[in-house]
A and B are shown apart, each in its own frame.
Chain A
């Protein structure tokens, strides 16, 4: 299993880890049976992701991709953040081993699901 230095760096020093109390949107993606679960919390102001945090149970790649997706999304409008793809996450990390591609998909899905959750909550109000 070959990880890039960037993956190791983000695994060692992930940004935006933790929880947000009373988040505007939250998502849980993945499955503990498969060994990867990602939880993403967002705080939204004026349609912009003001704050974003993650909690992840998973391998080195899962933790690194979680960190990267939160960094890419922070400060972006919801429309911009929704366009963040797993490809972008992988490129940011300088590549991922093929068996770890699903971790980057999980990151993309997690972000999208958090935004969806925000919109649903807002719509319900």
Chain B
């Protein structure tokens, strides 16, 4: 099998699994209890917090563990909205956000909030002048992702933070795709809040974190026994958090080499695909793009049929076509960068990672042209184009 869907999820690193095992049956203690094993569990959680903070370039006390990226996004946005309710009910986000952000904003819109969805350019970068113009007296939060999951475009987070800060508006960033792929330094000049997820960086599913900058306070989203200093209740997911910490530690040690190796594989794959398949476009920013992500639109054919064909060859990838989402609309990200519907339907996302090899790249680049050719033979548009 060739797995090229690392932006969807990553395999849990065996070293991560190993670090987690003691916290299932051996030391199963509730980390909130008073006895010895609980203290050991608490210590392991705090060590994990340090490792995650170190990768994020922030302080350990600024990391709050959650059930994942979606919860972190929900908490940050709803929390900021509730906290600043009296000041205003306007939130600014972008048209290319993950559904965890978009649908949270939509839910707030139904409660009377005004949401501005910033447009992006053809590379998927948010328009900073539009952002500046959109900030009004009642604006309480800006939420713009760090790097896009579909096309990999990296947003000018530093500039957005500066702008938001100068206008006294909170800034949250969904850093789920960026965390582990880009070196982050979350300090006083950066965003006020950032969402992370463990399973995107070779950690387990079901655990993530919200970075909340020191001095920023939002009300809890999950209420209960007061874990995480009263800010995120629920019995501490010790094994998951330990795994997250170990995953962050491994990424921190291997990131530079990984960026170079995986980035190189992606570039070779991109070059080969572009050379062998006509009528194809690369989506995303040419430079400011995640090193592992390759998103292309292959004209005159449809994405799901490409995925099915790749699957028959043992290749796992994804697409922003409508058919993969169960609706008739193709990816909102591809539409936001200005692609026509029929082109957006032909999208293919190949996202690489730690366990990909040159053989994988060779396999995909040798198999894909034949698949495209076959599907184009069936396509009325391709045949029309050929005959004029």
Contacts and interface: CB of A to CB of B under 8 A. Distances in A.
Interface string A7-25: 0100110100111000000
Interface string B295-326: 00000111111001000100000000111101
Interface residues of B, number: 25
Contacts, number: 77
A60 B305 contact: yes
Contact of A12 (B303, B312, B327, B342): B312
A120 B19 CA distance: 73
B100 interface: no
Interface residues of A, number: 30
**Chain B interface, >50% SS class:** helix
A76 to B, nearest CB: 23
A1 interface: yes
A84 B301 CA distance: 27
A70 interface: no
Interface string A34-62: 11111100000000000000111111111
A123 interface: no
A1 B322 contact: no
B328 interface: yes
A1 B326 contact: yes
B107 to A, nearest CB: 24
Contacts of A99: 326-327
A19 B381 CA distance: 12
A100 B330 CA distance: 15
Given A57-B301, A60-B308, A63-B305, A35 B380 contact: no
Given A14-B378, A59-B323, A35 B302 contact: yes
Contact of B378 (A3, A63, A100): A63
A57 B381 contact: yes
Given A56-B379, A57-B381, A59-B323, A11 B342 contact: no
Contacts of B303: 59
Contact of A60 (B304, B341, B345): B304
Report which residue of B302, B303, B383 has the largest number of chain A beta carbons within 10 angstroms of its beta carbon.
B302
Given A32-B381, A62-B305, 14 more contacts: A1-B324, A8-B308, A11-B305, A11-B308, A12-B312, A14-B378, A19-B383, A32-B341, A32-B342, A33-B342, A37-B380, A57-B378, A57-B381, A58-B302
Interface of A: 1, 3, 8, 11-12, 14, 17-19, 28, 32-39, 54-63, 99-100
12 contacts: A8-B308, A11-B308, A19-B383, A28-B380, A32-B381, A33-B341, A34-B341, A35-B328, A35-B342, A57-B379, A59-B321, A61-B323
Q: Which 10 A-B pairs have the closest CB atoms?
A: A32-B342, A59-B323, A55-B380, A59-B304, A35-B345, A33-B341, A39-B380, A60-B308, A99-B326, A57-B379
